[in-house]
Amino acid sequence: MKKLFKYFVFALAVSLTACSTEDPTDNNGGNNNGNNTENPDGNNNDGDKDKKITADFDFTVNKTTGDVAFTNKSTGADSYEWAFGDEQDGFSTEKDPVYRYSKSGKYKVTLVASKGTDYDEISKEVDITIEKKEVAIKIDGSFDDWKNIPLRTDVELEGFTELKTVATNNYIYIYLAAPKNILEGAGFVNFAADLDYNYETGQRENQFPGGKTGCDVCREIDGSFVWGVKSDKKIGWDWQQNKELVTLGDATIDNMTYKEWRMDLKMAEDFIKTNKAHGIEGLEQKFAKANELNKEKARVYAWLRRNDWSYAGTAPKRGNAPFDVKLGEYINTEE
């Protein structure tokens, strides 16, 4: 019996010694020695106590323009991805973006903040009420939808006798009218816009003061163009194949001919951002200026030419500078 008791004491001592060499554990079985071998960055699913990245943001809404300025309050991150939750699938990787919504509504905005393989995300609802004038304009050759839009009496015209403009966040619309005999045989459309509001960038045209238009994109005859490097390596209007930058509508009623043209601003921006001049030594800096698009206003000119290239109508009159349009001034319920 004494011999058996000695054996029992020896076995117990060995057992206790073996247990004392292991690290202590918490009640959940986690290792409290400060090391995380599965995720050394510490951002795991065991709760927020070891969390190194926290995503958060605030925002302010401009009810006049629909612009929302986002202030990033995330900590521990160096990369950011925003999804703005609208029909355009708006997206940004800027730290503190400003995003323009085209319609009133409630939008779910999601921010993913990350560093390396660690990340955190947060979503908030942005409630926007845009206090803008509403229109319902379609480019369909019916002009009743223009009747409540005021005439642009501030722009001197040639050939044309009436000009109206509407600009939303997505499109620039113009309405032109003239006596039927003035525009008869005129089918060559030229509609151009200076979207960075900078005379030092953009195509040159002799009909404007100093030859400067500032215009970065245009429709000319049946083609869509961006100011850039052409196939012959010269700077000028670079053709954008199979792209319809401008949609046209027209009608002749009694003795008057009416024109309505719509420029797609999202497509225009894509033209500018993917300009072939980027990456070409000596041109990169020059064309980078045209990427700084103005979100508040643009300059526009519109011509209509006959088959012999003579001018049937111009807005503005030749010799005058392109006229301004205020971007985002209207909401078009037909968009």
Helix/strand/coil percentages in the chain, nearest 5: 15, 40, 45
| Helix H or strand E segment including 116 | none
pLDDT for res 77:
96
Rounded CA separation 96/82 (Å): 10
Query: Is 221 in contact with 248 (CB distance < 8 Å)?
Result: no
pLDDT for res 48:
54
Query: Which amino acid makes up residue 64?
Result: T
pLDDT for res 185:
87
Contacts of 250 (CB under 8 A, 6+ apart): 141, 257, 258, 259, 260
Mean pLDDT by 10 residues, the chain (335 residues): 38 38 35 34 47 94 89 97 92 95 91 96 94 90 94 97 96 97 92 91 88 92 85 82 91 95 94 69 58 85 93 96 94 90
Contacts of 178 (CB under 8 A, 6+ apart): 159, 160, 161, 162, 256, 257, 312, 313
Q: What is the DSSP secondary-structure string of 249-296? A: EEEEETTEEEEEEEEEHHHHHHHHHT-TTTTSTTTHHHHHGGGS--SS
Q: In 3-state terms, what secondary structure has residue 238?
A: strand
Measured CA to CA in angstroms, residue 180 lies from 177, 183, 187, 251, 254 at distances of 9, 6, 13, 10, 8
